[in-house]
């Protein structure tokens, strides 16, 4: 940035957004659209939807993730579209180290050597970022 240019502050007002895994496609889409409208009406300007949960479950179609939480629809896509429709920026949130909580899930099913271990040396459902 040139010294003569002034940086501009931008106020961020947003929330984390969790999708209800009990909702089917029709009611889920309606719920998401209502939620995005309410967030925009509340003068928020961004939303952070959960895209990959702590058990390795994906909220979107994935060729890498077996655990798809919504096999009949893509709630992350619906959230992205609904947020953009009402002028919200969207920043999907991925839990990248927890992979199955108490059991090996997600990427650790294919790469158990990436798992952290407990005091007894048993692998747990958390990926070790150093491996």
Span 79-96, pLDDT tens digits: 999 999 999 999 999 877
Amino acid 83: pLDDT: 97
Task: Please tell me the pTM assigned to this model.
Answer: 0.74
Identify whether the C-beta of residue 53 lies closer than 8 Å to the C-beta of residue 76.
no
List the chain domain ranges.
14-95, 98-131
One CATH from 1.20.120, 3.90.105, 3.30.750, 1.10.10 for 14-95: 3.30.750
Give the 3-state secondary structure of the chain. Answer: CCCCCCCCCCCCCEEEECCCCCCCHHHHHHHHHHHHHHHHHCCCCEEEEEEECCCCCECCCCCCCCCECCCCCCHHHHHHHHHHHCCCEECCEECCCEEEECCCCCHHHHCHHHEEECCCCCEEEEECCCC
Q: Tens digits of per-residue pLDDT, 5-51? A: 667 777 889 999 988 767 888 999 999 999 999 999 999 999 999 88
> With 70 as the cut, is the pLDDT of residue 54 above it?
yes
Q: Is the pLDDT of residue 60 over 60?
A: yes
Angle among Cα 129, 99, 94 to the nearest 5 degrees reads 80
Does residue 4 have a pLDDT over 70? no
Is the pLDDT at 3 greater than 80? The verdict is no
Question: pLDDT averaged over the chain?
Answer: 85
């Amino acid at each position: 940035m040139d010294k003569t240019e002034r940086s501009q502050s931008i106020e961020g007002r947003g929330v984390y957004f969790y999708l209800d895994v009990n909702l089917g496609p029709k009611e889920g889409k309606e719920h998401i659209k209502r939620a995005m409208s309410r967030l925009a009406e509340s003068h928020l300007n961004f939303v952070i939807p959960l895209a990959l949960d702590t058990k390795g479950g994906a909220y979107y179609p994935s060729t890498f993730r077996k655990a798809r939480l919504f096999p009949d629809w893509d709630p992350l896509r619906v959230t992205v579209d609904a947020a953009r429709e009402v002028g919200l920026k969207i920043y999907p949130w991925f839990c990248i180290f927890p992979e199955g909580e108490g059991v090996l899930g997600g990427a650790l099913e294919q790469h158990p050597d990436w798992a952290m271990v407990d005091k007894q040396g048993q692998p747990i459902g958390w990926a070790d970022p150093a491996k």
